[in-house]
Amino acid sequence: MGLISSMLTLFLVMDPLGNIPLFLVLLEDVEPHRRRVILLRESTIALAFLIAFLFAGPYILRFLQISRPALGIAGGLVLFLIALRMIFPVPGGMFGPTPEGEPFIVPIAIPLIAGPSAIATVMLFATRSRASWEWVVAILGAWAASTLILLASTFLRRVLRRRGLIAIERLMGMILLTVAVQMLISEVPGLLAG
């Protein structure tokens, strides 16, 4: 997997376009001038988590004796479930009720930006034999693109309107479903060989 494809995969897994409706709902009670600050703060926290898992991931996997195929399959399953909930939404939102007031770490930084699938994808990056700085660049690229889209969420809502955002969320769900199935398929040979 090359640098650009890694960046694109992580961007799809982070799913900023599909998350726009969720961000808008989570921040609807927050004053407009605070939204940008909150999004930048939460996005930076998510970036720190992703980079931490990039470097700590191999040690965590070794300590817990989790194989790379098991991690890939678990990440694929979580991503599959998230994609299904994007395509077929449930009442109460994707993550159920959220605490009132200004969000801090949960649910914006984790699990919306740096969710289980993004963390699993980053840990999979760490198990591959490439320079860690290349994976950091891939994470930074996907994170920067996601952050820019989320910062423009209010503008995108005005342009795309509710139906447009719903259509984008369903489309991103279909793309994520495909990515999840590919993650599962690509790890099956390693599971059978082990």
Which amino acid is present at 105? I
Q: How far is CA 94 from CA 12, 78, 105, 107, 156, in A?
A: 17, 13, 17, 11, 20
Per-residue pLDDT averaged across 164-184, rounded?
85
Instruction: Give pLDDT, residue 37.
Output: 94
* Residues 6+ positions from 63 with CB-CB distance below 8 Å: none
CATH class in words for 3-188 = mainly alpha
How far is 110 from 62, CA to CA, in rounded Å? 24
Residue 50 neighbours by CB under 8 Å, 6+ apart: 114, 118, 119, 122, 139, 143
The domain locations on the chain are: 3-188
The amino acid that residue 162 corresponds to is: R
pTM: 0.83
Kindly report, residue by residue over 38-78, the tens digit of the pLDDT. 999 999 999 999 999 999 988 998 999 998 888 888 888 88
The pLDDT assigned to 1 comes to 65
The owner of tokens 């969720």 is: 22
> CA-CA distance, 40 to 37, in Å (whole number)?
5
**pLDDT, tens digit (0-9, with 9 covering 90-100), for 124-141:** 888 876 667 889 999 999
